């Protein structure tokens, strides 16, 4: 595989996975992704939508450079300063919330820079707690704060809104839109929720099942993050018409 | 409280049996206590204990450093594990006495040989436990550290060591108790000082009062180290667990 990181800010995200296989328990290789191509303009927002187990997390790990065991190519945007929200919070259980956040800052920065973020995510009262003392929803919010804290120019989000209450999720969506637009972050979001995807993204990638590839790709009209209910419904109808029936949970939405 | 009562009963029993037996082979607690005080005053007891303690510390440091490095490497790399494992098995199964004799014969009757022999006895155990810890490191946290560009120092401090801590604590605890017992044997066999040496020479004179005085003093010292050094350290590394859900 190739791992090219191009200098200059406005590089698009390009991922080509010719083949990605895992070794099964019996020792046989199982191909989970084949001929998959993702292209995302610099500073834009892509959403990956697909059935459970199709390979979304695997794609994010490849995009993050955490999994080099595939054939294909990967080009990442900007300086490649990565912010990532894993599917589980993945906090360090033996460090407090404050320390978990501090650890991703550069040594000369203080936590004060994150005051706004901490406020938005409602973490202020929990900074001195250990992750084991947090509810799952809270732990997820810490993970989101951590990803934003690094001032990423490349953001990967694996179902970040799961198990958050409605109000928090809504505030987070707004924050996500503001942040990614203001700081010009190229973002790839994995979600099960078609409404989330339509509301937040510039481009939707619908994945097929095994071996996964992009079945339908849809560019959405700007501006993202501020679409009206009517526009969202209209796009949802179009999705229903274009995306085949292998994703009933998506077309129903 | 229960501990105090139980120890008092033991002491009482000892006094009673010693009084009934009236034999030089079982001196009374009083005479043992008197010797401890006298030898502490003369500086003899502290000197011998310091000799032994220094050997314990040196052997412990060597076994711990090499063992943690080796165990970590074997836990992380299948290749290293495959090649080093047979050595480990041999070392694990060599009786302590054999290692001590080899060390004295090959290296000579000196301090180096004594410390090497003790360290070699403890080493395989440190390796085995650390390897277990290294194998159980969570790959998900590795990925997290890589995604967020942790420096290797930060990763070691914040990701790896906290996961190894329970294993290292277990190794320190069992390590200390194994090591000081072996140090006594090593001293008995080939050193001109230390608690083991005193026990050996008193044994040849059947001087039970001295044997008991030195043995009890040293056990007490080890208990103090365990209680005031090892246990607090263990509690500190487990602080985050206390309130965990
Ligand atoms: N380390 C692994 N070893 C073997 N198989 C794996 C491994 N990781 C993932 N897989 C398999 O690859 C497929 C894709 O997994 P992945 O986690 O990427 O799916 P996903 O789309 O993120 O699923 P979900 O929606 O449930 O999060 C699954 O069938 C899974 O069983
Ligand atoms: Mg997943």
pLDDT in tens, A90-103: 999 999 999 999 99
Q: pLDDT higher for A193 or B193?
A: B193
Is the pLDDT at A225 greater than 80? The verdict is no
Q: Please tell me the predicted confidence (pLDDT) of residue A101.
A: 94
How far is B147 from A63, CA to CA, in rounded Å?
11
As a whole number of angstroms, the distance between CA B98 and CA B82 comes to 26
- The 10s digit of each residue's pLDDT in B44-84 is 999 999 999 999 999 999 999 999 999 999 999 999 999 99
What are the beta bridge partners of residue A17?
A36, A72
pLDDT at B131 exceeding the cut of 50: yes
Interface test with A, best of B148, B160, B243 (most A CBs within 10 A): B148
Sign of CA dihedral B124, B125, B130, B132: positive
What is the pLDDT at residue A247? 47
Binning pLDDT at 50, 70 and 90, where does residue B233 land? confident
Residue A240: the pLDDT is 78
User: What average pLDDT does this structure show over A25-52?
Assistant: 89
Rounded distance between C-alpha atoms, residue B209 and residue B189, angstroms: 21
Q: Do B140 and A86 touch (CB under 8 A)?
A: yes
ipTM greater than cut 0.90: no
Q: What are the tokens at A159?
A: 């179902």
- Tokens 């199709």 correspond to what residue? A54
Asked whether the beta carbons of A14 and A39 are under 8 A apart, the reply is: yes
* pLDDT computed for residue A4 by the predictor: 43
Looking at every residue in chain A, the average pLDDT score rounds to 84
**Residue B146 near chain A (CB below 8 Å):** yes
Q: Enumerate residues with CB within 5 Å of ligand 2 (an ion).
A: A 56-57, 87
| A interface test, pick of B136, B138, B144, B235 with most A CB neighbours within 10 Å | B144
Over residues A154-195, the pLDDT tens digits come to 999 999 888 788 888 888 888 888 888 888 889 999 998 888
pLDDT at A169: 84
pLDDT at A9: 56
Nearest CB neighbour to B243, from listed A90, A92, A132: A132
Nearest C-alpha to atom 7 of ligand 1 is from which residue? A22
- Distance CA(B244)–CA(A92), nearest Å, equals 13
Pick the ligand that lies closest to the CA of residue B140. Answer: 1
CB of A253 closer than 8 Å to CB of A195: yes
Q: Is the distance from CB of B55 to CB of B187 less than 8 angstroms?
A: yes
**pLDDT confidence of B197, banded at 50, 70, 90?**
very high
């Amino acid at each position: 595989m190739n791992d090219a990181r191009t200098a200059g800010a406005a590089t698009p995200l390009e991922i080509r996975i010719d083949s990605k296989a895992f070794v099964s328990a019996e020792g046989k290789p199982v191909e989970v992704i084949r001929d998959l191509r993702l292209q995302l303009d610099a500073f834009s927002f892509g959403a990956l939508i697909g059935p459970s187990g199709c390979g979304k997390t695997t794609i994010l790990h490849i995009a993050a450079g955490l999994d080099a065991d595939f054939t294909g190519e990967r080009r990442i945007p900007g300086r490649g300063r990565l912010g990532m929200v894993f599917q589980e919070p993945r906090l360090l259980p033996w460090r407090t919330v404050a320390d978990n956040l501090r650890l991703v800052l550069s040594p000369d920065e203080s936590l004060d820079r994150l005051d706004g973020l901490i406020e938005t995510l409602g973490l202020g009262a929990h900074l001195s707690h250990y992750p084991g003392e947090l509810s799952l929803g809270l732990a997820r919010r810490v993970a989101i704060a951590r990803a934003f804290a690094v001032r990423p120019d490349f953001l990967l989000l694996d179902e970040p809104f799961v198990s958050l209450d409605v109000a928090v999720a809504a505030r987070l969506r707004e924050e996500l839109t503001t942040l990614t637009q203001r700081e010009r972050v190229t973002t790839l979001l994995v979600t099960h929720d078609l409404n989330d995807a339509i509301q937040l993204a510039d481009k939707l990638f619908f994945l097929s099942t095994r071996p996964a590839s992009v079945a339908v790709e849809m560019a959405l009209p700007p501006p993202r993050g501020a679409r009206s209910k009517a526009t969202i419904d209209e796009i949802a109808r179009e999705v229903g018409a274009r995306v085949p029936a292998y994703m009933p949970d998506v077309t129903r939405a | 409280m229960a501990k105090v009562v139980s120890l008092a009963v033991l002491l009482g029993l000892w006094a009673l049996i010693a009084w009934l037996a009236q034999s030089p082979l079982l001196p009374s607690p009083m005479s043992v206590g008197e010797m401890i005080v006298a030898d502490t005053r003369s500086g003899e007891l502290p000197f011998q204990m310091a000799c032994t303690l220094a050997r314990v510390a040196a052997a412990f440091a060597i076994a711990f450093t090499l063992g943690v490095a080796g165990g970590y490497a074997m836990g992380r790399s299948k290749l290293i594990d495959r090649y080093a494992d047979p050595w480990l098995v041999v070392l694990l199964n060599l009786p302590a006495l054999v290692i001590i004799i080899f060390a004295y014969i090959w290296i000579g009757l000196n301090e180096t040989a004594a410390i090497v022999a003790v360290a070699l006895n403890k080493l395989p155990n440190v390796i085995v436990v650390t390897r277990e810890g290294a194998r159980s490191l969570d790959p998900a946290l590795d990925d997290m550290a890589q995604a967020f560009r942790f420096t290797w120092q930060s990763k070691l401090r914040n990701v790896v060591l906290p996961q190894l801590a329970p294993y290292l604590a277990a190794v320190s605890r069992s390590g200390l108790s194994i090591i000081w017992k072996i140090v006594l044997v090593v001293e008995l066999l080939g050193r001109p000082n230390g608690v083991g040496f005193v026990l050996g020479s008193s044994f040849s004179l059947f001087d039970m009062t001295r044997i008991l005085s030195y043995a009890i003093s040293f056990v007490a010292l080890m208990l103090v180290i365990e209680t005031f050094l090892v246990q607090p350290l263990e509690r500190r590394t487990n602080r985050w667990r206390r309130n965990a859900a």
